[in-house]
Chains A and B, each alone.
Chain A
Amino acid sequence: MLSAVRGVYAFLKNDKFAMVGAAIYVFFILLAILAPIIAPYGPDEMIRVDGRLAFNHPPSSQFWLGTTNMGRDVFSQLIFGVRPALMVGFTAAFFVVVAGTLVGLLSGYFGGWADSVLMRLADVAFGIPFEPFVIVLVGFLGPSVWNIVLAMALLLWRDTARVIRSQVLSVRQRAFVEAGEVSGASHLRVLFVYIMPNILPLSFLYGSLAVGWAILTEAAVSFLGFGDPNTISWGYMLHDAYVSQALSRGSFNWFVPPGIFIMLAVMAGFYIGRGSEEILHPKLKRV
């Protein structure tokens, strides 16, 4: 585990893009923790100025990004929106990575019928279009952030599993794995002590990609109005802005900031994942 973290760190250090991606995540995490301190208002607080609802205010020193048509502070919503975004992002990524890694490991290591069954399942998962699936599932189980996470976990393990599997196939060929076998290591030991540490960095990278994906998905689903009405997320903000015709009123201050934050989150995941090529095809780096 520790060595996997070390591997990720070594990789980040050598890749400027990945570094930027990681920095964005750190920035978001800080925002999420400090949200109540940074945000001047609550996310769903209806603000009154001189006893009147402060709706559709343009940006000012009091409302940095203006207010919504219900008199809520856009800046505060944006900051608090980091919390559901990261929650969705990290939990979905966690399940996607755990499921994908396990499937990839078992499938790649044991081969045979286990491989056939799991990979056919992956094919099925690949055949299902993602966004419609999420919407249907959420429509079925009710609009909640957790159902979005569930939908992602149910489908997105497929990408991770495929990549991990092919990586396992190549690691399995390497002499040190055979050496473990000659030493008498059991299947489980070979799998978890020899192979897994060598693919964990890759899982981490796929995890970071999944974080971006999950945030984007939650935003998309919320934007379409299938989101959790009790959670103020960036997607919800966009939805809210859209249905109140902020666009036609030219209230850029309302819908551009959440858009930028979504983009940043997705980009961060992509930047980190971009370097995974190098981990997938490492050259023997001898000094």
Chain B
Amino acid sequence: MAERDLVVDVRGLKKYFRVRQTLFSKGYDSPWLKAVNGVSFQVSPGGTLGIAGESGCGKTTTGRMLLKLEDPTEGEYRFNGRDVTHVKRRELRQFRRQAQMVFQNPFEALNPRFTVYRSLLEPLLIHGIGSRPEQEQRINAAMERVGLKPPNTYYEKFPHQLSGGQLQRIVLARALIVDPIFIVADEPVSMLDVSVRAGVLNLMQEITASMQLATLYISHDLSLIQYLCDDTAIMYLGQIVEMGSTDAVLASPEHPYTQALVAAIPVLDPETEPPEVKIKGSVLSPIDLPEGCLFQNRCPYAERICRSEEPPLESKQSGRSVRCHVVN
């Protein structure tokens, strides 16, 4: 696919935060927390990319930068052919229609003082879309698309009167109502009960496919990524350590961290002995990173070079990229 057809194209994206370690340290001499440390990936129309990795590895921060809720410290972000890395808030009107988000916590993502109808009307008001009847039509269509039928039975309801599954559908409807081309879904079902998760997942899958949306799924749950995504990027301490087609990455993980991550998923079959997880220790602090590979302290295969030189994310012919001296 030609580059100009990409919806999302980020290169070397970084986000550093200043952190106050003590009450008295001043802003300018406090250290940097490297939340996202140079990530690059592309998403094309209809493409689904999953970002997985453990808590604090920078998934949400990446997603927030892609939605321009956070400005990158470094790197380049092209959206739908346009460089939006440093665009001002006022110049983002078009972008705000095209890029939408599905939030982690549906109980929080809707204004508690808005009715369902008002929540769905809001984006239309902001962008001045449609006359009144047209607006109602759009809202109707969006509600039906997310499976809330008949729509008018929900219009006057407030968020606290609905279940998590219903709320998440409304959040999805709100995202779709402005005809976006890109959706970020950050842990879209982690707050929902297992019994209703599948409904929301199937719906999102069906909609993003039929509307040819570019979608970024963020989750710590690999089984969810497997279910939804064509491609997967595994993050560790702000960097992508492995990326490739989901099936390949999960079936034959190459990076030692991905291997551990896959092995650690609980086994649903009680008769099967769970595979061994080879890594030990815990993740380093993103404030004080060492030279070399960021995974060196936990890696069972680490060699001398791993402690001195940072491994590059190397792409192979198979389409897989891995950031590891030993594997490459």
If A179-B103, A179-B174 touch, whether A184 touches B112 (CB-CB below 8 Å) is no
Residue pair A182, B69 in contact (C-beta under 8 Å): yes
Count the A-B residue pairs with Cβ separation under 8 angstroms: how many?
57
Q: Which of these, A174, A180, A197, A284, contacts B122 with CB under 8 Å? A: A180
Give B93-142 interface residues, CB cut-off 8 Å to A.
Answer: 93, 96-97, 99-101, 103-105, 107-113, 122-123, 126-127
Q: Which of these, B93, B110, B113, B171, contacts A184 with CB under 8 Å? A: B93
Cβ-based interface call for B7 (8 A):
no
Give A174-196 interface residues, CB cut-off 8 Å to B.
Answer: 174-176, 178-185, 187, 189, 194
Cβ-based interface call for B67 (8 A):
yes
Give chain B residues whose Cβ lies under 8 Å from the Cβ of A281: none
Distance in angstroms between the alpha carbons of A180 and B126 in the assembled complex: 9
Distance in angstroms between the alpha carbons of A286 and B174 in the assembled complex: 22
Shortest beta-carbon distance, A269 to chain B, in Å?
Answer: 26
- In the complex, residue of chain B having the shortest beta-carbon distance to the beta carbon of A200: B113
Residue pair B107, A284 in contact (C-beta under 8 Å): yes
Distance in angstroms between the alpha carbons of A131 and B133 in the assembled complex: 59
Distance in angstroms between the alpha carbons of A188 and B126 in the assembled complex: 12
Shortest beta-carbon distance, B171 to chain A, in Å?
Answer: 8
If A181-B69, A182-B69, A287-B160 touch, whether A175 touches B96 (CB-CB below 8 Å) is no
Give B42-69 interface residues, CB cut-off 8 Å to A.
Answer: 67, 69
Q: Which of these, A3, A175, A183, contacts B108 with CB under 8 Å? A: A175
Distance in angstroms between the alpha carbons of A55 and B113 in the assembled complex: 59
Distance in angstroms between the alpha carbons of A185 and B89 in the assembled complex: 10
Q: Mark B135-179, 1 if CB is under 8 A from A, else 0.
A: 000000000000000000000000010000000000100100010
Residue pair B109, A179 in contact (C-beta under 8 Å): yes
Give chain A residues whose Cβ lies under 8 Å from the Cβ of B107: 284, 286
Shortest beta-carbon distance, B20 to chain A, in Å?
Answer: 15
Distance in angstroms between the alpha carbons of A198 and B126 in the assembled complex: 20
Give chain A residues whose Cβ lies under 8 Å from the Cβ of B113: 3, 197-198
- In the complex, residue of chain B having the shortest beta-carbon distance to the beta carbon of A176: B111
Residue pair A184, B96 in contact (C-beta under 8 Å): yes
Cβ-based interface call for B326 (8 A):
no
Distance in angstroms between the alpha carbons of A175 and B102 in the assembled complex: 10
Cβ-based interface call for B264 (8 A):
no
Q: Which of B112, B113, B126 has the most CB of A within 10 A?
A: B113
Residue pair B69, A178 in contact (C-beta under 8 Å): yes
Shortest beta-carbon distance, B218 to chain A, in Å?
Answer: 14
Residue pair A184, B160 in contact (C-beta under 8 Å): no
Residue pair B112, A198 in contact (C-beta under 8 Å): yes
Distance in angstroms between the alpha carbons of A183 and B127 in the assembled complex: 8
Distance in angstroms between the alpha carbons of A183 and B89 in the assembled complex: 12
Cβ-based interface call for B92 (8 A):
yes
Give chain B residues whose Cβ lies under 8 Å from the Cβ of A179: 101, 103, 109-111, 171, 174
Residue pair B69, A184 in contact (C-beta under 8 Å): no
Give chain A residues whose Cβ lies under 8 Å from the Cβ of B109: 175-176, 179
Give chain A residues whose Cβ lies under 8 Å from the Cβ of B104: 175
Residue pair B108, A174 in contact (C-beta under 8 Å): yes
Residue pair A183, B96 in contact (C-beta under 8 Å): yes
Q: Which of these, A182, A197, A284, contacts B96 with CB under 8 Å? A: A182
Give chain A residues whose Cβ lies under 8 Å from the Cβ of B111: 176, 179-180, 194
Shortest beta-carbon distance, A166 to chain B, in Å?
Answer: 18
Which 4 pairs show the lowest CB-CB distances between chains A and B?
A184-B96, A175-B108, A183-B123, A175-B109
**B residues neighboring A (CB under 8 Å):** 67, 69, 89, 92-93, 96-97, 99-101, 103-105, 107-113, 122-123, 126-127, 160, 171, 174, 178
Interchain Cβ contacts under 8 Å between A and B, 26 examples: A175-B105, A175-B108, A175-B109, A176-B108, A176-B109, A178-B101, A179-B111, A179-B171, A179-B174, A180-B111, A181-B69, A182-B99, A183-B122, A183-B178, A184-B92, A184-B96, A184-B126, A184-B127, A185-B126, A187-B89, A189-B126, A198-B112, A284-B107, A285-B160, A286-B160, A287-B160
**A residues neighboring B (CB under 8 Å):** 3, 174-176, 178-185, 187, 189, 194, 197-198, 284-287
6 other A-B residue contacts (CB within 8 Å) besides A182-B101, A185-B126: A175-B103, A175-B105, A182-B99, A183-B122, A184-B96, A184-B126
